[in-house]
Amino acid sequence: MKSTKRVLALGMASVMTLGLLSACGNKPSSDNNNQASTLVVGDGNYDGKFSPFFYTSAYDGNIVSMVSQPLISSDREGAMILNGIEGETKEYNGTDYTYTGISDVVVTENEDDGTVYYDITLKDGVKFSDGTEMDIDDVIFSMYVLSDPTYDGSSTLYGQPIMGMNEYRSGMDTKFNLILAAPRDNTDFSLWTEEEQTALWAAVDKAGPEYAKYICEYLIANGDNKPEDSVAACAANWNYPDLAEDATYEDFYQAMLAAYNGNPAEMARNESPSSLSDFTNLIEDYDAYNVGVQTGESAPNISGIQKTSDNSVRVTTTEVSATCIYQLSLVVAPMHYYGNEELYNYENNQFGFPKGDLTIVREKNSKPMGAGPYEFVSYENGTVALKANENYWKGEPKIQNINFKETNEADKVNGVKSGTLDITDPSFSTDAIKEIAAANGGSEDFNGSVITVNTVDNLGYGYVGINADNVKVGDDGSSDASKNLRKGLATVLAVYRDVAIDSYYGKWANVINYPISDTSWAAPKVTDAGYQVAFSTDVNDNPIYTDGMSDEEKYAAAKQAALGFFEAAGYTVENGKITAAPAGAKMDYELIIGGGGQGDHPAFMMCTLAKDALKEIGMNLIVTDIANASDLFSQMQAGTAELFAAAWQATVDPDMYQIYHSQGTSNYNYDIKDAKLDQIIMDARSITDQEARTLMYKDALDIVMDWAVEVPIYQRANCFIFSTERIKIDTLTPDMTTYWNWMNDVELLELN
């Protein structure tokens, strides 16, 4: 799936180990102050909410991943490991890797009634850091926390079609939700007082503009907007493109609120970068309203969560959900610590806490425990201190202490250079690249004597989109003639991808050939049968390029191939140029790009080179570099853009419904309407077999490419840097990816 908004629930379920931490006032142990035995990691600023249930920031999530263990593990491509107890061996980048976990999962699709069984068996002997052995009751407890009617964290397990889930959650809601769902002038105070209602609305109104500011800051930190961008420009990147140029945070908040009929709770559930708590953290005395209120009858349990033995559970869904397996990769939290064992009696529908009251769970937000490789020691003065978990199921880590230290972006590279940091993740900017090279004595391979660099693909990619309803022949954007028109434009754009991306990113971005992030398990591989370079065949499906061609020869061949497509589209071609357009088509099209009015965009060179090349064959491509990104997104959303340069963020599941299905919420970008494509997308949603889904998505991607509504351009890199002097580099986990970084296999990492 692609989105302009972050979808944290899936990401945190599958990227890596997740867990429980704590942030308390204890001082770090003396060992953690012993530099010789302590790894120091430069991280971002922490919220101090290290709970696997309620953490929201990515930096708190880093601590969570070190201290806890997911029920289902994942591999280097983000795919779930269903045979974790014995392990699964999978090939990546030419090497076989064996992945293990704490459970086996058997997925059974029942043809008779459409239900699906997830039979989960827990590995024996797994212990939490206090030595208590994990059992299936801990799993069930964790599932019920995430399913509680008052749960407001980032997991959406409750949104899966688990049998009995809706019945269990019905008949109860939080006072917060109930008050905000009622009119502001409500006079029925049977479930809350007038004073509570007045106070909550006042607190919400005060928090609203701060919430809009938080979203803008998130977009800037995530690289979607620049620090100097206006509120309107940020709002446009959040799918609110119609704000006035001088809009305020209050205006942005009111625009979001209006989209949800004035209900702030509903707005925050849908608009938050990570979870509802992005909003509720800003509301004064929120906890007083986050209590369950009985509003009707509800089921005493979730019928689709059944304990089948002391070490197994069956989860039953009413239908196939391709994303359910990711949500089931939840952190297994120790019930004896987060809950109350006296309140657990499975047969009597008691699950470790009072239904509708997660107070005892929230009390441990800053004082956690888990089954991960490290256990929490303290959080003070901007440093989280961890120590090795001697009970870790994979074996006690070799590095005894790790300090995660809040670090400013500007200090990250210098921190490793000077020896105050051992690992960090600077923004991979041109300045950072130069600084790293200088630290390594001018070495440009970035694996020098001071700093070692390891890059991973960013979870997203850049592209040029072409709207099929605006770039067509006649009245039918799906006709062969219309497709050929778009293929002519796409062919010339595509041939300049290599030179443009190399100029902008150097070797720290790759040209991609399908409209899907290379980080996805569904992305076609170069070695796959039928893999093709994007727009590299002519109108007769013959290769445009041959081995040994120079760049200039490729550019000439692309122009010749484009003429073939234009002629097939109905254009008049004379003496190597188009001279007349068929009905419904034009001799000029506009491509809008957000280069800040200064050409500062990875695709800008590609677009301008393509403009010059197309001009030589009679087509006028107008490249409009806009200063305000909101103008670009406004045209995209209105469906008036012809061609546009943009970027997608991706999620771990490659579901294509949002963008490419004819009824998708963002289909207006391309106006692609293809019955066969729709069917493939729906079929891929209805099965859980990843291999089969991969084949389906390849067929879907081929259809998208045939429509020529998207020119895939680049996948840029993010990076981790390591102190070559302090770390035994050969003990770092090999072949790091977006889903598999140095924190995986951390128990094997060693210091020099």
Give the span between the Cα atoms of 273 and 211, in whole angstroms: 11
Pick the CATH number of 2-170+298-374 from 3.40.50.11720, 3.40.720.10, 3.40.50.2300, 3.90.76.10: 3.90.76.10
User: Which has more confidence, 459 or 330?
Assistant: 330
User: What mean pLDDT is predicted for residues 135-161?
Assistant: 94
For residue range 627-647, what is the model confidence (pLDDT) as tens digits?
776 678 778 877 889 999 988
Position 494 scores a pLDDT of: 98
Tell me the pLDDT band of 275, cut-offs 50, 70 and 90: confident
User: What mean pLDDT is predicted for residues 52-80?
Assistant: 92
Average pLDDT, the chain: 91
For residue range 180-197, what is the model confidence (pLDDT) as tens digits?
999 999 999 999 999 999
For residue range 422-466, what is the model confidence (pLDDT) as tens digits?
999 997 777 788 899 999 998 877 788 999 999 888 888 999 999
Q: Report residue 420 as tokens.
A: 């105050």
Give the span between the Cα atoms of 312 and 387, in whole angstroms: 31
Residue 155, H or E segment: none
Position 6 scores a pLDDT of: 30
pLDDT of 175 > 70? The answer is yes
Position 20 scores a pLDDT of: 25
Percent of the chain predicted with pLDDT > 70: 95
pLDDT of 1 > 60? The answer is no
User: What mean pLDDT is predicted for residues 208-234?
Assistant: 90
pLDDT of 592 > 50? The answer is yes
DSSP assignment of 614-651 equals HHHTT-EEEEEE-S-HHHHHHHHHHT--SEEEEEEEE-
Q: How deeply is 47 buried, as exposed, middle or buried, from its count of CB atoms within 10 A (0-12, 13-18, 19+)?
A: middle
Q: Report residue 517 as tokens.
A: 């992030």
CA 200 to chain centroid, in Å, comes to 32
> Among 636, 286, 647, which residue's Cα sits nearest to residue 469?
636
> pTM of this prediction?
0.77
For residue range 465-475, what is the model confidence (pLDDT) as tens digits?
999 999 999 99
- CATH for 460-716 is 3.10.105.10
Position 29 scores a pLDDT of: 38
For residue range 136-145, what is the model confidence (pLDDT) as tens digits?
999 999 999 9
Percent of the chain predicted with pLDDT > 90: 75
Spell out the residues 6+ positions from residue 246 whose beta carbon is closer than 8 angstroms to its own: 230, 232
Domain ranges of the chain: 2-170+298-374, 172-294, 460-716
Give the span between the Cα atoms of 174 and 658, in whole angstroms: 31
> Among 682, 643, 386, which residue's Cα sits nearest to residue 493?
643
User: Which has more confidence, 334 or 408?
Assistant: 334
> DSSP label at 211?
H
For residue range 482-505, what is the model confidence (pLDDT) as tens digits?
999 999 999 999 999 999 999 988
- Give counts: helices (H), strands (E), the chain: 23, 25
Give the span between the Cα atoms of 590 and 115, in whole angstroms: 49
Position 32 scores a pLDDT of: 52
pLDDT of 255 > 70? The answer is yes
Q: How far is CA 658 from CA 5, 462, 575, 662, 729, in A?
A: 12, 17, 43, 9, 42
Position 630 scores a pLDDT of: 66
pLDDT of 19 > 50? The answer is no
pLDDT of 319 > 60? The answer is yes
Position 276 scores a pLDDT of: 81
